[in-house]
Amino acid sequence: MIKQILLFAVLCCLLHANGNAQSPGTESQALTPNPETNPVVQKKGSFFITPFYEFTQFKNLKLTEHTNYYSLAEGESQSDFTQEVIDEYNDNYGTEYRNSMAGIKIGYQVLDGLGISGYIGVNHFDFKSWISAENTQTLTTNNPALTLGLTVDYQKVITNRFIGLAMLSSNYCTTGSVVVVNNTGLDVVSSSSESMYWDANLALAYRAGKFVPYAGAGFTQQFVHPVTSEETHTTNDNGEPWINTTKFDSHYTGSSVYGFAGVEYRIDKNVSAYGRCTFVNPVRATLGFRIVL
């Protein structure tokens, strides 16, 4: 009987020791990350795709260069706006543009937290110049315009809740034929426009379960290059019919410091939806999905 009791006690000790060897201790459990409270940046080597929609309005563009090219019965010539005329335009007239863009972005995580991506989309572009109480000239895209972009973004975990964000992006858009509306009475025979901007952003994000709200500030520079050609019917010195053509070639530039805020909702570990709003200038609203492949 005593032997049986001793044998039973030895077996209990062995089972207890074996159980301690197979079960994690409290120290290892404390080191196990909790996915609801510990943000994890995207890992090196992953691809991602982001369909998105974006609306932008930028005001207070400044005229920097303007040249008129004339093709008249007397011959061809050109004239450049002087700095005085350019300053007069900027003091008395407004300039702004709006665009609505739908596109798709494809990217790659070069390092943990560091991604680079390019995107392509179509853009409806609306540009207004010579804005005053008496007159406004408007250029509007006839067909969707091609837009291209490049983005570099970086995420850095600061604490188990906070993430630092940095992003640098650029965009280029070119239009073919655009509709021109003005009050000059001249016939517009051709028109086109190019626009480009770049942004630099810094933000702080907070992980609250599946929601990641963030806010920050940025700086942007905007460039717009519209070209229009207008014609009038007249006669030359011999009384023969003639068409006078004038091409207006302008360059506008604007820069601004702005604030922005947004939120990302993580549907699962590979899919998230996000919304973002930028203010005061530019006013920009963005909606999209990020899908990690």
Tens of pLDDT, residue by residue over 228-245, are 888 887 777 777 787 888
Spatial CB neighbours of 112, under 8 Å, sequence gap ≥ 6: 41, 42, 43, 44
**How many Å apart are CA 7 and CA 30, to the nearest integer?**
37
Q: What pTM was estimated for this model as a whole?
A: 0.80
**The pLDDT of residue 214 is above 50:** yes
Per the DSSP assignment, residues forming a β-bridge with 193 are 175, 226
Q: For residue 12, what pLDDT is reported? A: 44
Q: For residue 20, what pLDDT is reported? A: 38
Q: For residue 141, what pLDDT is reported? A: 75
Note the helical H segments in 23-139: 26-30, 83-92
pLDDT band at 178 (very low <50, low <70, confident <90, very high): confident
The pLDDT tens digits for 101-114 are: 999 999 999 999 99
- pLDDT more than 70, % of the chain: 84
**The pLDDT of residue 74 is above 70:** yes
Q: For residue 183, what pLDDT is reported? A: 59
**The pLDDT of residue 35 is above 70:** no
User: Taking a C-beta distance cutoff of 8 angstroms, is the pair 121, 102 a contact?
Assistant: yes
For the ranges 23-37, 165-179, 231-245, 267-281, the lowest mean pLDDT is seen at: 23-37
Mean pLDDT of 50-76: 93
Here the tokens at position 15 are 């089972």
Q: For residue 259, what pLDDT is reported? A: 98
Please provide the average confidence, as pLDDT, over all residues in the chain: 83
Tell which wins on pLDDT, 276 or 240: 276
**How many Å apart are CA 198 and CA 103, to the nearest integer?**
17
Q: For residue 273, what pLDDT is reported? A: 97
Tell which wins on pLDDT, 255 or 190: 255
Q: For residue 186, what pLDDT is reported? A: 57
Q: For residue 253, what pLDDT is reported? A: 97
Q: For residue 176, what pLDDT is reported? A: 76
For the ranges 6-10, 87-91, 208-212, the lowest mean pLDDT is seen at: 6-10
**The pLDDT of residue 257 is above 50:** yes
Here the tokens at position 246 are 């004038």
**How many Å apart are CA 113 and CA 39, to the nearest integer?**
11
Instruction: Tell me the one-letter amino acid at 222.
Output: Q
